[in-house]
Structure 1
Amino acid sequence: MTNDRPKKVPGQQQEWPGSDADLNPQADHGADSWTGRGRLEGKRTVVTGGDSGIGRAIAVAFAKEGADLVIAHLPQEEDDAMKTAELVAAQGRSATLHSTDLRTAEANQELADVAVEHMGGVDILICNAAYQMTHDELLDFPDDQIERTFETNVFGPFWLIKALAPQLEDGGTIIVTTSVQAYAPTDHLLDYAATKAALNNLVVNLAQELGPKGTRVNAVAPGPIWTPLIPATMAKDKVEGFGSDTPLGRPGQPIEVAAAYVFLASDEASYVSGTVLGVTGGKPVF
């Protein structure tokens, strides 16, 4: 399965927020490579940032495992989101799309209400939406970007978890997307890396608070994964050879990350809570 993974990424750029269809090489979201085993049969799942990249792969893998989904995406990502919904529907599962920008408490409460209305409740919450934009030096980082990065990456998950926590008692699970950047930050992702470190802390704290109510809380920390976010937010020279600095010598594919979410959401991880699972190609997560 992994021997034929592309090892060399050519230099390229896209307009933000990027499109899966324009990636070269194309990313693997599991439509053909993932085999479902019924591990999430009937699980009602919310995925933010589910239009492309890791979010799409999560949606596809979860659908193949038997889950129904509400998928949140930005209005600018409508085309990619519709493709994700088609891939879910092809597995005989439902995918309700919700176009929103999750930078306010109100938007997160609305998403929570939509999910409960459409699915009758929520069993799994995956906070995956994120914003990043790279700059070479501290003085280049715009103030409004810092605000946007924290609103999207930290405030949004906090508000959404708060809104859905009552739904997730007695067996529900929360999975938050953090990053290897929380452990080994690079200067051109200064604000993004800081948000991911904050999320690691939030996950550990929430696991302590929500555990007695029967809710497991974990995180997945991806390394360099080939998604539209890369050519849409990084300079062309940084995209070229992306991921080649890992011990495995290549970038990861979205479906390789989605496997960690399937595990953490399933009964196989029934005693796993408060942990951060790295999917980094060998880069350390500690």
Structure 2
Amino acid sequence: MEDESGNRIAIVSGASRGIGAAVAHAAAAAGYGVVVNYSADAEGAHAVVRRVVAQGGRALAVQADVSQPADVVRLFDEAGDWGTVTAVINNAAITGNQIGTLVEVPAEKVQRVVDVNVTGMIFMCQEAVRRLSTDHGGNGGNIVNISSTATKAGSPGTWVHYAATKGAVDVLTVGLASEVAKQGIRVNAVAPGSTKTGLHAAAGMPDRVEKLNPTIPMGRGAEPEEVAAAVMWLMSGEAGYITGAVLPVAGGR
């Protein structure tokens, strides 16, 4: 049972750039009020809000570190003060901005990547269920987790630690979907392949997407908007009988 009141709110974590920003724009275009979550990039988040508003949508920037339970509760509280949360898109993730073999990644970076990509997503999913579940007085809705096709090969020589966290995202998606299927909540994931975002440049390989093009059947990386379109489809009524799915958006790779 999803809220059709016209005051639907979508929380998008890590929405100050890249896929998260594209999802925020797509959700706003679909009529959601969008909570643009960010951890540190306030300038980027507020730029997303300005673009959404300029296009006639509603958006609100909220700072919160998803790896901190108190921040997650505050994020949902602020969103709930603005409307009825019916969609949560868990996009926040980091690589540690380091490319190399697993043995080369410092312990503190491994810990932080796990804290954000796995623990943070679990916290977000827990709070989403508390707010959306019909068993808890909610109106139902959707959770969409952003995974990665890096889970297939494990990203050897680049981001094994990151790929491992995305494997956890897939398991979380499948397990939680089964738990809450009778509580009005659908839980799915989108697994992008090589995507044209700033993630690669931040890790010191701005041309990484182009280098991977020959390995992709469609011959190119994804645009963030193409990933966002998959997210929005999973949130739509057209996907109303789909839960526990991990949808690859990877050009056939």
Do they superpose with TM above 0.5? yes
Alignment of 1:5-20 (within 5 A): none
Give the unaligned 5+ runs of structure 1: 1-38
Offset at 1:91? 2.9
- The residue number in structure 2 matching 1:53 is 18
2:78 counterpart SS class: helix
Question: Could you tell me how far apart the structure 2 residues matched to 1:54 and 1:125 are?
Answer: 14
Paired position in structure 2 for 1:241: 211
- Return the alpha-carbon distance in structure 1 between the equivalents of residues 232 and 209 of structure 2: 28
Q: Report the counterpart of residue 89 of structure 2 in structure 1.
A: 126
Residue pairs, 1:113-152, within 5 angstroms: 113-119=77-83, 121-132=84-95, 133-152=97-116
Distance 2:210 2:195 in 1: 13
Residue 103 of structure 1 and its aligned partner are, at CA, apart by 1.7
Q: Which structure: greater helix fraction?
A: 2
The correspondence of residues 20-99 of structure 1 with structure 2, limited to 5 A, is 42-75=7-40, 77-99=41-63
After TM superposition, the structure 1 stretch with the greater mean CA deviation from structure 2, 95-104 or 232-241, is: 232-241
- Whether the 8 Å CA contact 2:210–2:221 is kept in 1: the answer is no
Query: Which digits, 9 at most, give the CA deviation of each residue in 1:172-227, with x for residues without a partner?
Result: 11000000011221121011000000010000000010111111000000000001
Q: 2:194 aligns with which of 219, 224, 227?
A: 224
Give the Cα–Cα distance (whole angstroms) in 1 for the partners of residues 140 and 189 of structure 2: 17
- Alpha-carbon distance in structure 2 between the residues aligned to 1:70 and 1:130: 17
How far residue 244 of structure 1 moved from its aligned partner, in angstroms, is 4.0
Please state how far the C-alpha of 1:111 moved relative to its aligned partner.
1.1
Q: Secondary structure at the match of 2:215?
A: coil
**Cα distance change, pair 275–171 in 1 and its aligned pair in 2 (3 A):** same
Greater shift after overlay, 126-135 or 175-184? 126-135
Q: Which consecutive unaligned segments of at least 5 residues does structure 2 have?
A: 134-138
Identical pairs, percent? 35
C-alpha RMSD of the superposition: 1.8
State the match for 1:177 in structure 2: 146
TM-score, normalised via structure 1 length:
0.80
Distance 1:220 1:206 in 2: 15
Q: Residues of 2 paired with 1:237 and 1:212: CA distance? A: 45
Deviation at 1:42, TM superposition (A): 4.1
Question: Residue 9 of structure 1 aligns with which residue?
Answer: none
Per-residue CA deviation, residues 57-86 of structure 1 (Å, 9 max, x unaligned), is: 1111111111111111122x1222122111
Q: State the alpha-carbon separation in 2 of the partners of residues 280 and 219 from structure 1.
A: 13
What is the TM-score of this pair, normalised by structure 2? 0.90
Higher share in strand: 2
CA distance in 2, matches of 1:265, 1:148: 29
**Count of paired positions:** 243
The 5-angstrom pairing of residues 107-118 of structure 1 reads 107-118=71-82
Distance 2:43 2:68 in 1: 24
Instruction: Report the secondary structure of 1:122's partner residue.
Output: strand
Q: What code does the residue aligned with 2:73 have?
A: Q
